[in-house]
Amino acid sequence: MPVIERKIKHPYISIDPQIAGGQPVIKGTRIKVMEIAIRYELMGRTADSIIDEYPHLKLEQIHDALSYYYENKEKFDRKYREDQSFIMQLRRQYPSKMKAKLFRSVNVSGASN
């Protein structure tokens, strides 16, 4: 018997090209679904602790964002990897001037000891 994939409606998620570049956000905010997913998946936060960070949100909004993320996980994860790759490319192409300056100051002060 074939598995029927059921689309779940997400009343707390909106996609608008004028908001966050068209990325899915929690309706009425500019908080991206991906921001919630990163906190939950990568940072190990609970839904309750995410509410502590965003006290104006309701728990059902967080759960809806996570549900939307899991329904579209491959797409979100691919976008995240692409973004991280782009960031690493930029870091190699444009090294931090602040880090270079700090490195020089540590080497200069360390050399005089």
Residues linked to residue 25 through DSSP beta bridges, in sequence order: 14, 32
Extract the residue ranges of the chain whose pLDDT is less than 70: 1-7, 106-113
Residues linked to residue 14 through DSSP beta bridges, in sequence order: 25
pLDDT on residue 3: 61
pLDDT on residue 38: 95
pLDDT on residue 6: 64
pLDDT on residue 94: 85
Q: Go through the domains of the chain in sequence order and give each one's CATH number.
A: 1-71 (1.10.10.10), 79-113 (no CATH)
**Which SS3 state, helix, strand or coil, does residue 44 take?**
coil
Structure tokens, 111: 């050399």
Q: What is the pTM of this model?
A: 0.72
